[in-house]
Structure formats: C-alpha cells, structure tokens
C-alpha cells in the first residue's frame, strides 16, 4: 500500500467541504443544498467508484466547478466529493450536507490549506484522513479569548 498527501487547491477566499458518499445522485443533491445560500458561489465534484467511474460535476460558478473537478482528479479516490465555496462559509451548509442521504462522512470543512492522506492499493484509492491547517502555537490567553468571542459576534455567528 502506498500513502500520498494530496493538496487541495482552494479558490481565493474560498472554503472546501470534503467527504465520502455512495451514489451518483450525490452531485445534484449537494448542489441543491448549497444553492439555497444567498450569494454563495460553488463548484462540486463527485467521483464515481463503479460503472463509467466519471467525475460528476455541478455548480453555479464554472471556475469553481473546474477547480473542484481538478482537485477530484488529483485525489482520484472513489466515492469522494468536493464542494468548493466562495461567498459562504461551510457552517452554513454543513449540517444539511451531513444530513444528505448519500453522505457517509465529512472529512473536513475549512478554508485552511488542506492535504488529503490517500491510500492506494491494488483495489483503488481511498481517503484515510486530512491534514487541516497548521498545528497549535499555544493556548489562548484572556485577550485572545476576548478577540475570538468578539469576532464571532462581529460576523453574526453569536449574539
């Protein structure tokens, strides 16, 4: 078995949701979930693992659709999906994505640099996990805690 770290290319000021699914219907269902977010631009790629084994795509932004497909080609792991977002944070769609009947797991939802750890065997390729961003630089102090809390209120995620 070979292990590879595959970087995911993010769009400028963009985010990614990466996961595992099980059915060709995934691409359309994920597009319907994300499309309801006002102002969100997105591209989705889903890698079939049987039949024609195509990368299925959806989205409302051709550049994001192309980038999602390019990431899926480099990943080359069956039944994985990539949702690239601009103008929206993953938190706005994450619960709906997890509730989608085809979705088996979500590996990450982030705007950080991401590497996907892929295992390759005679049977194909699969995602083992992800490296999401940098390691901790320390524990927050009172000033950092206050700044975090203020930021969440400024962007409307807390009152």
Token pair of 69 as six digits: 């497909």
Query: What's the pLDDT score for residue 24?
Result: 87
Measured distance CA(144)–CA(123) in Å, rounded: 47
Measured distance CA(34)–CA(68) in Å, rounded: 14
Low-confidence ranges of the chain (pLDDT < 70): none
Query: What's the pLDDT score for residue 158?
Result: 87
Query: What's the pLDDT score for residue 8?
Result: 98
107-113: list long-range contacts, CB under 8 Å, 24+ apart: 107/18, 107/19, 107/20, 108/16, 108/17, 108/18, 108/132, 109/15, 109/16, 109/17, 109/18, 110/15, 110/16, 111/10, 111/13, 111/14, 111/15, 111/16, 113/7, 113/10
Query: What's the pLDDT score for residue 155?
Result: 84
Torsion of CA 70, 15, 64, 78, to 10 degrees: 40
Domain with residues 2-154, CATH architecture: 3-Layer(aba) Sandwich (3.40)
Token pair of 19 as six digits: 């996961």
pLDDT digits 0-9 by tens, 45-84: 999 999 999 999 999 999 999 999 999 999 999 999 999 9
Query: What's the pLDDT score for residue 157?
Result: 82
Where are the alpha helices (H) located in the chain, listed in sequence order? 26-35, 62-75, 94-99, 142-154
Measured distance CA(88)–CA(109) in Å, rounded: 12
Measured distance CA(128)–CA(118) in Å, rounded: 6
């Amino acid at each position: 078995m070979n292990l590879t770290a595959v970087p995911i290319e993010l769009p400028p000021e963009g985010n990614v949701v990466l996961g595992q699914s099980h059915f060709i219907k995934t691409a359309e269902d994920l597009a319907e979930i994300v499309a309801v977010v006002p102002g969100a631009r997105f591209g989705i790629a889903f890698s079939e693992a049987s039949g024609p084994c195509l990368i299925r795509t959806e989205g409302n932004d051709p550049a994001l659709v192309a980038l999602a497909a390019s990431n899926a080609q480099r990943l080359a792991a069956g039944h994985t999906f990539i949702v690239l977002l601009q103008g929206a944070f993953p938190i706005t769609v994450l619960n709906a994505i997890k509730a989608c009947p085809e979705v088996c797991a979500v590996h990450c939802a982030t705007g950080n640099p991401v590497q996907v750890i892929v295992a390759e065997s005679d049977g194909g390729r699969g995602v083992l996990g992800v490296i999401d961003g940098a390691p901790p630089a320390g524990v927050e102090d009172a000033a950092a805690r206050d700044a975090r809390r203020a930021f969440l209120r400024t962007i409307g995620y807390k009152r």
